[in-house]
Amino acid sequence: MEEEEEEARALLGGGRDEAGRSLLATPVAARVPSALCDPSHLAHRLLVLSLMCFLGFGSYFCYDNPAALQTQIQRDMQVNTTKFMLLYAWYSWPNVVLCFFGGFLIDRVFGIRWGTIVFSCFICIGQVVFALGGIFNAFWLMELGRFIFGTGGESLAVAQNTYAVSWFKGKELNLVFGLQLSMARIGSTVNMNLMGWLYSKVEASLGSTGHTTLGVTLMIGGVTCILSFICALALAYLDRRAERILHKEQGKTGEVIKLTDVKDFSLPLWLIFIICVCYYVAVFPFIGLGKVFFMEKFKFSSQAASAINSVVYVISAPLSPVFGLFVDKTGKNIIWVLCAVATTLVSHMMLAFTLWNPWIAMCLMGVSYSLLACALWPMVAYVVPEHQLGTAYGFMQSVQNLGLAIISIIAGLILDTRGYLFLEVFFIACVSSKYAM
Amino acid sequence: MCGSGNPCWGCGRCAPSPMLLLSLLLFAAPFGLLGEETRQVSLEVIPGWLGPPQNLLHIRAVGTNSTLHYVWSSMGPPAVLLVATNTPNSFLSVNWSRLLSPEPDEGLMVLPKDSIQFSSALVFTRLFEFDSTNMSDVAAEVPGKLYPPYSLAEFYWNNITDSLDTATLSATFQGHPMHDPTKAFANGSLAFRVQAFSRSGRPVQPPRLLHTADTCQLEVALVGVSPQGNRSLFGLEVATLSQSPDCPSMQEQHSIDDEYAPAVFQLDQLLWGSLPSGFVQWRPVAFSQKQGSRESALPCQISSLHPPLAYHLPQSPIVRAFFGSQTNFCAFNLTFGASTGPGYWDQHYLSWSMLLGIGFPPMDTLSPLVLGIMAVALGTPGLMLLGGGLILLLRHKQYSEYQRIN
């Protein structure tokens, strides 16, 4: 969910970073034989770009593993929905705090290269522990795994942004942010559609369902995290090499976070925070619980339910850059936010109160989500002085994670006791409460 | 109220016609089938004649101008008669010597005979057990290899008088096979818990079917029986009476509302004729734990209704006594659970509920809580938008006046 900040930065036109200026075309590396190995050459930057994209792939792929395997997890681990949603809550808890310190850790403690390696290490370990929880039939181990995974996940995204700024500032930065965001969405989509299939293949080879099958499936899913880790190593090597050849500085997030700024936040900013929380909690926990909803209410097959559950991601991948450009051109962010909220409200109501084809509602939700992300995050920049921007974004992500953690648990509880209709009504109330703001 | 799938809002000119149709239908419908708000319900175990007790439970639900009779018995296979009459004074007459004879015709009657508006019967004939291992295809026709089925006609049933509870209007038939060579039922039993209601309401226990005074609930519970395989699925064969050559119709209703049975959006119904008539309704869900929590919910598959060709259904004396020997039956099978997921094997527990009644089947409506939240959630921002718009409008007016004066 941290990609909103990427969007924001992309739209703000280049971020707040002072580092990485020295990529000016002064090729010192005349001896380097091919363009691919020349850090100042476009071909080399494209190689770096693809590494950056795959760096985030693992974490996005694994973030939504629980949603893709909801029925399997609940069945094999014998947990109710409330406990299932704890898997998402445990991801969010560490990020309530870490959003403030991710930048600090990268700038002051690890440096960008080691920071990236450490964070991708965390997601690998987290995913492995998560999978081991399945193999040993220990749900608490799975929760621990998600906690470790969450510790690395959001900070890795910050690191990814920092790399992007460091390599592409003043060149193709907006495009790079757009591509990274698309890649994140692709990771989520691939996960949604692949994991169920993978589970059935593992089931066929092991001969039965059960927690072992689940664990092995998650372990295989963890390969994407290893891929991310390899990308982190490769990036660290290339970045160091570029520093040696081009005398390029190590990238910095440049984030200055002063918690004391919080007391100076204006009322509109607080409203933006509340809107942000209310909106996101009505989209992401719903996607987390959506698969069973589509299977039971609309009689979708498992694959079809996965497909429709991932459509929000599919739509926002290409639409985010388009809407970003669109909102930039037209301005009037508030109007667009209102439009996005109204559309989401309509789509939730369609899902709750009609038996219409849910593709309509989910596509609508995908479009409105993309629009909101593009319109809401840049609004922060209008209401906050620039020196507080880092704190404001950190705080916004923090409250968003806090909201997601709490609402995930509540949503699971509601579903277990009151069913999906009530859950949808609850989401509608969440979305609608923003209008009252 | 306007019939399913037929959006009644925005009908404009055509709006009165469904209402008209409904009211015509109501007037045309016989009194006994119209349903009543409350009924005087009494449960009575009809005392046997001689020898061992014969379980014969009579539920009599008296309204202002109709009486419903539900007669449950475990003579032969467990069975129930549903009879609706258009007088508050109809009664059940039992001729034990005839009922216990090999030709029980007319051994059991509801009198006066000409007051009967509707009658039918359900017979629970067999309990199936399937071996579901190696059956990964959930949608398969057969849930697995069939073990020898238990014939419920060859069960020994407890004395129902012991479990009769006039406060909750319930009674339980609890049984085990007379011949049990595998000792599967040594620590277990199959129970049919019957409950009647004097007014409408909803039980606490899932699937929380809405009941009215015209209905009667049956909960089938299999508890503590040792399964023959590691992953045994159980099923129940139910036979119904069909007066016409066609079988009664089976309906699947899809709804948007799963508030009372989380994640179950379907309601299955068996209808004996065009409404109002007799009906059986259930949610396609069973539970493998007593609390009926969502993680213990099992899917419930149902076969189509078919005339039983392969074998002769065991005779129920009460059905034979009431309807005579010239009757046709149709049968269907219910199967609880799937090879994957929770199942009977978890806690050796399985329960499933259904509602049977006469008249119009109860329909779920959105609960007041849902409607209230929707009203507040959508109403508040709506009002604020309206208020904000008005204020803007008024300010604009004042402003322009101010300008004009200057």
Q: Please list every residue in chain A whose beta carbon sits closer than 8 Å to the beta carbon of residue B257.
A: 419, 421
d(CA B172, CA B245): 34
Give the pLDDT of residue A436: 60
* Distance in Å, alpha carbon of B291 to nearest chain A alpha carbon: 12
Per the structure, the complete domain to which residue B222 belongs is given by: 18-31+121-312+327-365
How many angstroms separate the CA of residue B383 from the nearest CA in chain A?
A: 9
Q: By the 8 A CB rule, do B82 and B323 touch?
A: no
Judge whether A402 and A108 are in contact, CB under 8 Å.
no
Amino acid letter at B117?
A: Q
Contact B295 A74 (CB under 8 A): yes
| Residue B92, domain member (yes or no) | no
Q: Does A26 touch chain B (CB under 8 A)?
A: no
Same domain, yes or no: B153 and B224? yes
Low-confidence ranges of chain B (pLDDT < 50): 1-20, 24, 406
Same-domain status, B374 and B361: no
Instruction: For residue B294, give how far its alpha carbon lies from the nearest alpha carbon of chain A (Å).
Output: 6
* Closest C-alpha to A286, from A384, A410, A198: A410
Of A209, A292, A418, the CB nearest to B259: A418
Would you call A420 and B295 a contact, using CB atoms and an 8 Å cutoff? no
Separation in Å, CA of A421 to nearest CA in chain B = 6
Which residue from A minimizes the CA distance to B139?
Answer: A301
DSSP track, B289-324: STT--GGGEEEEEEPPPB---SSPPPPPHHHHHHH-
**C-alpha closest to that of B190 among B225, B236, B239:** B225
Tell whether A82 lies on the interface with B, counting CB pairs under 8 A.
no
Class of residue B203 by CB neighbours under 10 A (exposed 0-12, middle 13-18, buried 19+):
middle
| CB spacing of A292 vs B293 below 8 angstroms | no
- Cβ–Cβ below 8 Å for A436 and B293: no
Same domain, B275 and B184: yes
Interface predicted TM-score of the whole assembly (ipTM), two decimals: 0.80
Judge whether A435 is closer than 8 Å to chain B, CB to CB: yes
CB-based contact A373:A7 (threshold 8 Å): yes
Interchain CB distance below 8 Å, A420 and B263: yes
Per-residue model confidence (pLDDT) at position B136: 54
Looking at CA atoms only, how far is residue B364 from chain A in angstroms?
Answer: 13
| B235 and B379 share one domain | no
Based on the fold, state whether residues B300 and B167 are members of the same structural domain.
yes
pLDDT of residue A149: 94
Provide, as residue numbers in chain A, all residues whose Cβ is less than 8 Å from the Cβ of B376: 429
Q: Which of A295, A422, A426 is best to mutate for the B interface (most B CBs within 10 A)?
A: A422
Tens digits of pLDDT across chain A (437 residues): 444 444 444 333 333 333 333 333 334 444 444 666 777 777 888 888 888 888 888 888 999 899 899 888 988 888 888 889 899 999 999 988 887 777 777 777 888 888 899 999 999 999 999 999 999 999 999 999 999 999 888 888 888 888 887 787 766 676 777 778 788 888 888 998 899 899 989 988 887 778 899 999 999 999 999 999 999 999 999 888 888 887 766 666 666 667 777 777 888 888 888 888 888 888 989 988 888 899 989 999 988 998 998 899 889 888 877 887 888 788 788 888 888 988 999 999 999 999 999 999 999 999 999 888 888 887 887 888 877 777 788 788 888 889 988 998 899 889 888 888 888 888 888 888 766 65
Contact B127, B234 (CB under 8 A): yes
Question: Which of B256, B346, B381 is closest, CB to CB, to A435?
Answer: B381
Question: Contact B148/B131 with Cβ under 8 angstroms?
Answer: no
Of A81, A293, A422, nearest to B370 by CB-CB distance is A422
Q: In this structure, are B226 and B263 located in the same domain?
A: yes
Query: Within this chain, do residues B342 and B358 fall inside the same structural domain, yes or no?
Result: yes
Domain count of chain B?
Answer: 2
Q: List the 296-335 stretch of A: residues with Cβ below 8 A of B.
A: 296-297
- Residues B324, B316: contact at Cβ < 8 Å? no
3-state secondary structure of B184: coil
For residues B340 and B383, state if they share a domain: no
**Residue B271 included in any domain:** yes
Mutation choice for B interface testing from A339, A420, A427 by most B CBs within 10 A: A420
Q: How far is B27 from chain A (nearest CA, A)?
A: 32
Helices A358-383, A302-309: axis angle to 10 degrees equals 30
Query: Do A292 and A75 touch, CB atoms closer than 8 A?
Result: no
Nearest residue on chain A to B367, alpha-carbon basis: A422
3-state secondary structure of B237: strand
CB pairs under 8 A between A and B: 83
A6 and A157 in contact (C-beta within 8 Å)?
yes
Report yes or no: A422 at the B interface, CB cutoff 8 Å: yes
A420 contacts in chain B (CB < 8 Å): 258, 262-263, 265
Q: Indicate whether B231 and B358 sit together in one domain.
A: yes
Q: Is residue B161 part of a domain?
A: yes
Write the Ramachandran bin of A125: left for phi over 0, alpha for psi from -120 to 50, otherwise beta: alpha
Tokens 């498992």 sit at which residue? A302
The alpha carbon of residue A204 is apart from the nearest alpha carbon of chain B, in Å, by 9
Mutant choice from B267, B340, B366 vs A, greatest count of A C-beta within 10 A = B340
B182 within a domain of the structure (yes/no): yes
The residue of chain A nearest to residue B264, with distances taken between CA atoms, is A296
Whether residues B148 and B200 share a domain: the answer is yes
Tell me: do B132 and B25 sit in the same domain: yes
Q: Which of A238, A106, A239 is nearest to A166 (CA)?
A: A239
Task: Answer whether A312's CB lies under 8 Å from A287's CB.
Answer: yes
Query: B148 in a domain, yes or no?
Result: yes
Contact (CB, 8 A) for A109 and A418: no
Q: Report the first-to-last Cα separation within chain A, whole angstroms.
A: 23
* Token digits of residue A412: 């699971």
Contact residues, chain B, for A213 at CB < 8 Å: none
d(CA A182, CA A177) in angstroms, rounded, equals 9
Angstrom distance (rounded) from CA A384 to CA A350: 37
A296, A349, A437, best to mutate vs chain B, most B CBs in 10 Å: A296
Residue contact B262–A417, C-beta within 8 A:
yes
A137 Cβ under 8 Å from any chain B Cβ: no
State whether B385 and B305 are in the same domain: no
Q: Are B315 and B151 in contact (CB under 8 A)?
A: no
Tell me, yes or no, whether B261 lies in a domain.
yes
Euclidean distance between CA atoms A142 and A133, whole angstroms:
5
List chain B residues with CB under 8 Å of A293. Answer: 263
Q: Is residue A154 within 8 Å of A102, Cβ to Cβ? A: yes
Do the bridges between strand B170-177 and strand B189-196 make them parallel or antiparallel, or are there none, so unpaired?
A: antiparallel
Most A-contacting residue of B133, B255, B294 (CB-CB within 10 A), to test interface: B294
User: How far is residue A369 from each of residues A276, A323, B87, measured CA to CA in Å?
Assistant: 11, 11, 62
Q: Name every residue in B having a CB less than 8 A away from some CB of A.
A: 136, 254, 256-265, 293-295, 340-342, 346, 366, 369-370, 373-374, 376-378, 380-381, 384-385
A415 contacts B342? CB cut-off 8 A: no
Rounded to a whole number of angstroms, the CA Rg of chain B reads: 26
Residue B279 — φ and ψ, nearest 5°? -150, 155
In the prediction, which pLDDT does B349 show?
94
